[in-house]
Chain A
């Protein structure tokens, strides 16, 4: 069963200006539950734009995004925020943790928004920090953590509320190779153990090699889509 279905997605930035940018030109995609999928393509090909639209951060100029039989492109702003909170975990290239919150509080944040009980939160945080190997860092603020550690916190934060899928835009772009391997191991493990769907964009061949499915886009169109071993 597909979790996400993108139908004929177009995105034009600055449509009314002298130089409209046609970032996506008719993307059709189906992503199934439990996939571990990489979106690859040269710089400027539209990866970030596609992920933002799938995640309900941005709206397509044309086409539909169907998630759980709902067309989220028709949602209002606040409905979208709510929808993201309940269904989607985001991991961004530059970690983007909340600087005034500790690692633990960053991870807890969405659960707090969802008014989960103290015990639930506690249990989930411990589970996740163990999974990402940061048990001893939970009281540190982001600026006291390395890039790799911050990105692992970001993955834990994205997973905290057990979303339907995780969208990660170049999650390893700022990491050294050891951290990259470690993060991918964690993501892969969570993908298998928690059955969480991962969709991530990347330039990095080592990351591409670990993906189970690789969707290549160029100039706003899908040019290749294959399952790897």
Chain B
């Protein structure tokens, strides 16, 4: 019954109710869009990281992630490799030999991470091969080819076909150096990555290391992200002595980004809520004052204060219940509109590249965000209704009824 009265009361001053509903809808829409956008930004970052480097799952010697030393290699993983190649949930995989060392040219030297890869396999997992700015990606032809990042190339004054020297320790602890020829220069969306990474063929690197078998990392990409945990535990079973990690476990900044986005979402929702609260209080106060006499009658004939209070609260919540889905729907529509084309940020792309963010952002409205919004708007409506409802129950029925 309270619900019925509340519902009808809302439609008594249609214009006013519609304005409130629209402002709730607009508030929700703006939050939904803004947060979908930053969500898209984070996702773009994560996706880039997965595609350039992380893949979905990585397998290492348990100590390698803390101390990436040559000695913490995977050992003999032939059985594991066989199993991986047969597993149909796994889309592609790459085996890498990783060494930290130095690259030098006549112009200078720089500490770097050297990844020894199998060009063909690697191109199935990461997309460095698609990020070549000049020259070519690694292939089986040529002697000791290397590809380096744009930023590093500039720093070292290296060009395509330049000769560079890679220096590092071999398996026996001896310093060893190899001459490599720059086959190509890549440029990803992450400048830091471009500065600190070079790629060579794994067999070339292993030869210099004096061990044809060792490797430090197996990176897997799977078909369906929902299977991530499942594949992870399958790998763990197959290689109980090795460490198996998901991308989010490997790259702490990915997790950090994700949690920061949650915090930012809550803050933004909070600000919009605050603005809405004042608007709603104002409107509901008007609605209460207008109906002073009627509320007096209700109390005179025996509607107690608790019920009067809840009637006002319910009215407010109903407004939110109408406004919120509209806002979420429009938010969803506009996000969907951009999710095909993306939002072009190319005018800022220099700045963004430093953070590893691409210039096309595909906004994404997550269920988590919709959940936050729903909770936020619920709290808003309840908070905003309390003051007008208090006002309503404090009225004195006698003087309310005397008013004509």
Chain A residues within CB distance 8 Å of chain B? 48, 52, 55, 57-58, 77-78, 81-82, 84-86, 89-90, 92, 94, 96, 98-101, 105, 109-110, 112-113, 157-158
Contact = CB atoms under 8 A, between A and B. Distances in A.
A84 B304 CA distance: 10
Nearest to B2: A112
A77 B396 CA distance: 10
B130 to A, nearest CB: 65
Given A82-B304, A84-B300, A84-B301, 20 more contacts: A48-B402, A57-B300, A57-B397, A57-B398, A57-B401, A78-B305, A81-B302, A81-B305, A84-B302, A85-B303, A85-B304, A90-B300, A92-B297, A94-B404, A96-B401, A98-B298, A100-B12, A109-B1, A109-B303, A113-B307
A52 B398 contact: yes
A96 B402 CA distance: 11
Contacts of B9: 100
Contacts of A98: 5, 294, 297-298
Nearest to A89: B301
A123 to B, nearest CB: 18
B8 interface: yes
A105 B4 CA distance: 10
17 contacts: A57-B300, A81-B299, A81-B303, A82-B302, A82-B304, A84-B302, A85-B302, A94-B404, A98-B5, A98-B294, A99-B12, A100-B5, A109-B1, A110-B301, A112-B1, A113-B302, A113-B303
Main secondary structure of the interface of B (DSSP, over half): helix
Given A100-B5, A100-B12, A92 B401 contact: yes
Please provide the 8 A-B residue pairs with the shortest distance between their CB atoms, ordered closest to farther.
A85-B302, A100-B8, A96-B297, A58-B398, A81-B304, A112-B1, A84-B302, A57-B398
B201 interface: no
A85 B305 contact: no
B293 interface: yes
B195 to A, nearest CB: 70
A62 B282 CA distance: 40
B1 A99 contact: no
B289 to A, nearest CB: 16
Main secondary structure of the interface of A (DSSP, over half): helix
Nearest to B399: A58
Contacts of B402: 48
Interface in B280-321: 293-294, 297-305, 307
B297 to A, nearest CB: 5
A90 B398 CA distance: 12
Contacts of A55: 300
Nearest to A98: B294
Contacts of A101: 5, 8
Nearest to A48: B402
A86 B302 CA distance: 8
A110 B293 contact: no
Contacts of A158: 301
Nearest to A169: B401
B143 to A, nearest CB: 89
Interface in B66-100: none
A113 B12 CA distance: 23
B7 to A, nearest CB: 9
Contacts of A85: 301-304
A90 B302 CA distance: 10
B301 A109 contact: yes
